[in-house]
Amino acid sequence: MSLLTSGYLFNFIFHPFRFFTRRAEGQRLFFMSAGSGIALAALVFPGAAFLKHLLPADSWPMLLAHAFASAVPVPHANKLFLTLVVAALLAYALNLASVRMVRGKHASHLLSSGGKAKSSAQCVYDTLTERHGTPMAQLLRRAADQQKLVMLTLKSRKIYCGRIFEVSPDIDSAEACLEILPSFSSYRDKDTLKMGDERTEYPIIDLWVATQRVYSLKEKLGLFRGTFAQFALRKAGSMIEEHMAAVRKYESGLKDEINELEAQIEGMLNGRDFDVQDWVKVIPLKEVESASFHDAGAYSAWFAAAENGALRVQ
């Protein structure tokens, strides 16, 4: 049981193993934990035996191990406890390199839909989802990263179309949920399953896109100013003067776009408070019947043309 617990603890903390164990159930989960526990014991037991011969008998590690073994009436109690400790410490240590281990993109270069830097755990889950996730998980992951419009049909025949704000790191688990900022919602007819004529529009999505653009431009402007300031300190004279006009023009263009967007945002808000989280819909993935990328002009460009005889497949 101690080795099984050690294996489960390691699998739960170490990001790549956690991705796969969250998708496992029953006997598979049991054997994955047992396998990790046995592998850890194969490292700890020989290591403890080596330290026993290396350290003096009156050293504090040996005295502590002897006291622990005497207090717990279980064979190899001190080594089993050490296996638990090593499982946690090793998992946390490996997490520092987990993004490189799965050959994923580093967290500092990626932003989530909310504009915050992604954690290393999220980067690992994203990379593994792209390679090993279900088609539904891969579609939702791409939608969140690329901010494409997605149309979701729920089992209740309710339809939501919008941008995936965030998805659970363990997309394929039974309890996973997604957050969608809707562009519109509708329903499907119970008999024909065609989309109903009535739908609810959510113009708040345009406001959110504008705020995200302003955030991105301000970050770019700040980075540009910092880089140019460092360059100006290192170089001097005519070389700087030659580039000042182009630099000022670029900076002015960024400022103008920011001011224009902020004016649009102020007009859309009209004095009202705005918190995007108030508009986000949280949907359990088990309630999603189907999902697809949404292009408002796709039907008229393809299906309507086919119905009118303009498109023929040979």
Instruction: Give the angle subtended at the CA of 160 by the CAs of 158 and 164, to the nearest 5°.
Output: 145
The span from the CA of 186 to the CA of 153, in Å, is 9
Q: Which residues of 207-234 are buried (b: 16+ CB within 10 A; e: fewer)?
A: bbebbbebeebeeebeeeeeebeeeeee
- 154: phi then psi, degrees, rounded to nearest 5: -90, 165
Confidence of residue 95 (pLDDT cuts 50, 70, 90): very high
Q: Say whether 215 sits in a helix, a strand or coil.
A: helix
- pLDDT exceeding 90 applies to what percent of the chain? 9
Question: What does residue 86 show for φ and ψ, rounded to 5 degrees?
Answer: -65, -35
pLDDT in tens, 156-187: 889 998 888 777 777 767 778 888 888 888 88
d(CA 127, CA 201): 34
Q: How far apart are CA 235 and CA 148, in angstroms?
A: 43
pLDDT digits (tens, 9 = 90+) for 109-136: 555 555 566 778 888 888 888 888 888 8
What does the pLDDT look like over 283-303, one tens digit per residue?
888 898 888 888 776 656 665
Burial of residue 159 (CB within 10 Å: 0-12, 13-18, 19+) is: buried
Mean pLDDT of the chain, nearest integer = 77
Say if residues 142 and 113 touch (Cβ distance below 8 Å).
no
Q: CA of 278: how far to CAs of 168, 179, 180, 275, in Å?
A: 19, 11, 11, 6
With vertex at residue 9, the alpha carbon angle to CA 134 and CA 7, rounded to the nearest 5 degrees, is 85
